[in-house]
A and B are shown apart, each in its own frame.
Chain A
């Protein structure tokens, strides 16, 4: 039996009927065509599928779509809603060359957003701890850490940019 769920993704309301065994990752990618969120390991180890549900980062591959009924979700598409003007985190990733193959990037950026919304001035150790659930197979960690540090500075400077 399908379950009826209502939820927000990047501020937009959605109302769907979903099978209970479908994950949030499948619904985002297949039903809503929000393919920025990736599917990596499928077992909560790699972090490529990270999205923010009600202010907490989760692995969308281990989240049942039925369980997000009534919740608010933010995906990488929500970082640059216009599709043109990039978020400070994205700009910093480009600036430092923190993207190699790009597969981990969406998850990294969502973890970065979650980290910076709770800790606007993280030191290097805190950044690395904040990213402990995200693997980069290209091993470009140094650039990613640098990018988040630059983004943090930028976001502290401009209060206008919404963190949440």
Chain B
């Protein structure tokens, strides 16, 4: 399998990259880790005339955590770096875990969280947790930059809210409020390396034994990552009991719209939404108590 021919540029600054992208127009694609884009090119699903490599841009791979603000993950920060970053492991364990559970060692050494989001696969491992944690993406264009809640970034399979000429430069994850826990759960046919057949990200905030608010995001069961809003409403303001968790799982399953494909049947997926939602809620509750 060979790559089709293309022109390659490795700009050193974001401005240069944005100018190139504007100048080359629709035939140009930006490249971070390449673990999705190059495969699509080898399979002849994409045939860009120009590739703009982003990894040479100074500072775009920066991971920055500030206690008062939150976490910023640069667009070219590797999945492996996010998975092992001490501040992320400590303050955002579900974000680190989702990065760690993405693909395999080699892909995590090449691929990026930003790329996982921009590729916009419904099964993207890093999307559910980040949406549940109210992450924003920072999108830069020649006219300036804009911030968009990640919740609004996904339009369809492989389609995002990125406008022509825009580049995602970073992902911002606010610091969770006190008594808040998060969790990422996923399942696939072949253990860890396989693409997730179902994945669930949760962030839940508690007051004593009452759930103040929960965000539940399902992956791989709809054209884009999906907020299970009825399940969120069901647990909000309620006393935390086994029965409530049970019901929330059922509700999330009802809201999911999975298809049957090579990875799992829609019936199985729906069942697993219930199971994984319950697991995620339980883990988030456990973690919230520790904080």
Which chain B residue has the least Cβ–Cβ distance from A107?
B106
Q: Is B53 an interface residue (CB 8 A)?
A: yes
Q: Once A and B bind, how many residue pairs between them come within 8 Å at the CB atom?
A: 84
Is A43 a contact of B39 with CB atoms below 8 Å? yes
Question: What residues of chain B lie closer than 8 Å to A130, measured between beta carbons?
Answer: 105
Q: How many residues of B contact A (CB 8 A)?
A: 31
Digitize A42-57: 1 where CB-to-B-CB distance is under 8 Å, 0 elsewhere.
1111010010000011
Question: What residues of chain B lie closer than 8 Å to A67, measured between beta carbons?
Answer: 10, 34, 53, 55
Task: Determine the distance from Cα of A44 to Cα of B8 in the docked complex, in whole angstroms.
Answer: 21
Is A132 a contact of B105 with CB atoms below 8 Å? yes
Question: What residues of chain A lie closer than 8 Å to B7, measured between beta carbons?
Answer: 1, 20
Q: Is B51 an interface residue (CB 8 A)?
A: yes
Q: How many residues of A contact B (CB 8 A)?
A: 30
Q: Is B30 an interface residue (CB 8 A)?
A: no
Choice from B10, B51, B78, B106 contacting A44 with Cβ under 8 Å: B106
Which chain B residue has the least Cβ–Cβ distance from A42?
B1
Question: What residues of chain A lie closer than 8 Å to B244, measured between beta carbons?
Answer: none
Task: Determine the distance from Cα of A132 to Cα of B109 in the docked complex, in whole angstroms.
Answer: 13
Interface positions of B from 73 to 122, Cβ below 8 Å from A: 78, 80, 103-107, 109-110
Is A44 a contact of B35 with CB atoms below 8 Å? yes
Q: Is A62 an interface residue (CB 8 A)?
A: yes
Is B34 a contact of A111 with CB atoms below 8 Å? no
Q: Is B3 an interface residue (CB 8 A)?
A: yes
Which chain B residue has the least Cβ–Cβ distance from A21?
B3
Is B8 a contact of A59 with CB atoms below 8 Å? no
Which chain A residue has the least Cβ–Cβ distance from B4?
A21
Is A58 a contact of B110 with CB atoms below 8 Å? yes
Is A44 a contact of B39 with CB atoms below 8 Å? yes
Digitize A61-80: 1 where CB-to-B-CB distance is under 8 Å, 0 elsewhere.
11110110000000000000
Question: What residues of chain A lie closer than 8 Å to B110, measured between beta carbons?
Answer: 44, 58-59, 62-63
Is B1 a contact of A57 with CB atoms below 8 Å? no
Q: Is A164 an interface residue (CB 8 A)?
A: no
Determine how close the nearest CB of chain B comes to the CB of A126; give it in whole angstroms. Answer: 12
Determine how close the nearest CB of chain A comes to the CB of B196; give it in whole angstroms. Answer: 15
Which chain A residue has the least Cβ–Cβ distance from B3?
A21
| Max count, chain A CB within 10 A of own CB: residue among B34, B51, B53 | B34
Known A21-B5, A62-B35, A132-B192; judge A44-B107 contact (CB<8 A): yes
Task: Determine the distance from Cα of A114 to Cα of B80 in the docked complex, in whole angstroms.
Answer: 13
Question: What residues of chain A lie closer than 8 Å to B192, measured between beta carbons?
Answer: 129, 132
Is A133 a contact of B107 with CB atoms below 8 Å? yes
Q: Is B6 an interface residue (CB 8 A)?
A: yes
Known A20-B51, A58-B109; judge A132-B42 contact (CB<8 A): no
Interface positions of B from 120 to 147, Cβ below 8 Å from A: none
Is B53 a contact of A64 with CB atoms below 8 Å? yes
Q: Is A23 an interface residue (CB 8 A)?
A: yes
Question: What residues of chain A lie closer than 8 Å to B159, measured between beta carbons?
Answer: none
Known A23-B3, A43-B42, A59-B110; judge A133-B105 contact (CB<8 A): yes
- Which positions in A face B, CB cutoff 8 Å? 1, 3, 19-23, 26, 42-45, 47, 50, 56-59, 61-64, 66-67, 111, 114, 129-130, 132-133
A-B contact pairs, 23 of them (CB 8 A): A19-B5, A20-B7, A21-B3, A21-B8, A43-B39, A43-B42, A43-B43, A44-B107, A47-B106, A57-B105, A57-B109, A58-B110, A59-B107, A59-B110, A61-B1, A62-B38, A63-B34, A63-B110, A111-B105, A129-B105, A130-B105, A133-B105, A133-B193
